[in-house]
Amino acid sequence: MATAETHYTLPLPSFDKPVKLLIVVAPYYKDITDQMVAGARATATACGAEVEVVEVPGALEVPTAIAMAERQAKFDGYVALGCVIRGETTHYDTVCNDSSRALSLLGLQGACIGNGILTVENRAQAEVRADAAGQNKGGGAAAAALHLIALSRKWAGSTKGIGFRA
């Protein structure tokens, strides 16, 4: 059972310049996502990051909102939050796969994204994962974004030449 396991968690990074995070949340299950937003905010605050929160209709719209912000706004990173609970149709598979794939593609293009879209079998699983005092998946997604921002800043300005250094 996963709850009996222990996992290593990286210590939060520190920053010498301000960090601005955008939390994009799909509040379809608002009680669950409110917990996740609280966890994400607390983690961001622990790193001194400024946070803005926007809501979108559903998990499929989260990557689109992040892509728009990446093109049109000034954020260092993004936290994708939502909850998809399996239902009676294959729509669950589409939403889970497509939202995750889109976030991964944005990340491969250089966006610093923490994916906190829960994909669960039932509400009880979602509640355990969302609880800011428990598994805190919102906080974990914020931590992931912050770690990627730290890496991005570490490597900023370093370019690869064509076989030699000037």
Tell me which residues are annotated as active site: 91
Q: Which residues pair with 151 in a beta bridge?
A: none
Exposure string (b/e) for 136-161, b if CB count within 10 Å is 16 or more? bbbbbbbbbbbbbbbeebeeeeeeee
CB neighbour list of residue 133: distance below 8 Å, 6 or more residues apart: none
Asked if residues 82 and 35 have their Cβ atoms less than 8 Å apart, the reply is no
Residue 54 has phi, psi (to 5 degrees) of: -130, 150
Decide if 139 contacts 23 (C-beta within 8 A).
no
Give the position of tokens 């926007």: 54
